[in-house]
Structure 1
Amino acid sequence: MSALAAAAPGAPPVRQPRLRYSNKPALAGFRLSLGLTLVYAALVIILPLACLVWTGAGLGFADFIRIVTSRRALASYRVTLSAAALATLFNAVYGFALAYVLVRFRFPGRRLLDALVDLPFAIPTAVAGIALTTLFAGNGWFGAPLEALGIKVAYTPLGIAVAMAFTSLPFVVRTLQPVLQDLDPAIEEAAATLGASRGRAFRSVVFPLLVPALLAGVALAFARSLGEFGAVIFIAGNQPNRTEITALLAFIRIEEYDYPAAAAIATVMLAAAFVMLLVINALQARLARYQEASR
């Protein structure tokens, strides 16, 4: 009744209560938490990376270039980058399909399959490498029939890609799953009611909304593949100029007590990972702006 009276002609205006906003953060002890976070990041992340770059820079420019552009180093870059790209491409397709199936469908064993996705996180990478080598060796369960078809996996660049794909798959799946769960299935139903086929609704409506998350998962998977060591060295064969990855070459230099050379090689891979992450973040920001503008 009071609202009606206030809305009636000639009635005095109702004074609305003024809301007061506080600039104080909701989290208690925010400054202390922020300080501890920055100290942790400086000691555990920034300081080791800075020491790595500093050690590599101590060689001098000429020696640094000579080490990182040697024939063996260039071959290791080629093997690492090509295998990581192949593994990431596989995970982008298979990881996307797996995440979609786990979110949108209900079937017996779904929870078990969802738990198995995290298996590469739970087991040591060396154990994964030994298991993959056993499976894909010439007398293994998978290796024997593949070699009968003329496909050799163990001790080849293909085996390196298999190991990288195994260890980096969870990054794609776990990045896409929350976005798929938050995506309302009614969007696809609305597209279907407007006459779009299931495939067109997926391509035009669902997939564009998932591209930023997919790019994030792909970037993490690629970065993880670049730094993979334990699972790769068992199945790679570690042949210089053929199946030797960059992480192993840096480890060999450490075993030779050539720490500056190891730091120089590691600095190159660190720079490659940073550049790749910056490019992916720029693409994500551009896609986000494009999606906001198209709404």
Structure 2
Amino acid sequence: MFMKNSTSDFIQIRDHRYHCRHWGNPEAPKLFMLHGWMDVGASFQFVVDALKQDWHVIAPDLRGFGLTTGPKTDSYWFPDYLADLDAILHHYSPDAPINLIGHSMGGNVVGIYAGIRPERIAKLIILEGFGLPVTQPNQAPKRYKKWLDELRQKPEMRTYRSAAEVAQRLQKTNPRLSDERAAFLAQHWARENDLGQWEILGDPAHKMSSPILYRVEEVMACWEQISAPVLWVEADQTEIFALLGGKEVARPEADRRLTYFKQVRKEVVSAAGHMLHHDQPVVLAGLIEEFLG
């Protein structure tokens, strides 16, 4: 399997030492990619390998993931990802509008950001960025209580005996993942500690419940302000609908949310699940480059 070479740099972003992975010619048009929950920038390797045009791809490890480091925290707040992205884009492209891609949680981040700073976005691509279920204010007391209870017992991440065992864990979550791709991802998703155990490169605090309810209409208000063309990509076998109350509930709600984009093109990738950039990278790369022109 041919893989394009990548390089890393570390930049200081809001008290964090941010790790950013780069592929391609630094003088080529920039293409920023944001990963999802419990993932890392290297996750886009297979899509980058399939890109045919000359791009400078930049994929950071978001705070609390991968090789990005910063102060310890009990909880992660979504607005911090927006502020981090704003600082990263200013660092690498302070003036020119940029092409921006986000997957899953990263898709939520880029969608909200594109509505906050519409002038910064040339074109926007959201991969499986459905968001979270609708919440109601009366859910707040129980949510706050759950968060307080969880703070009393810190979450932990299990360790693995080898990189091969990490790869097996990835394949358990996504059976479509080939042995070769799983082995590659395992090297970036985890690292060996001083005891010879492989630790996941994700802060256990991410397992905590958020005390802040997901306010869908606030997100939609941001989507309404997006001026850039949007490419919305779903997987035909996505597992996300199960988390959103089942397809009968999730499909019409997802379709309702899509109406808030001014210019949106929807594509569905076949034979793929939520990690569609792992399952069908060639198809996805084709859609990306066709959309970006």
- Fold equivalence (TM over 0.5): no
Higher relative contact order (CA 8 A, sep 6+): 1
More helix per residue: 1 or 2? 1
> Which range, TM-score by smaller chain?
under 0.3
More strand per residue: 1 or 2? 2
TM-score (norm. length: structure 1): 0.22
Q: Which structure has the larger Rg over C-alpha atoms?
A: 1
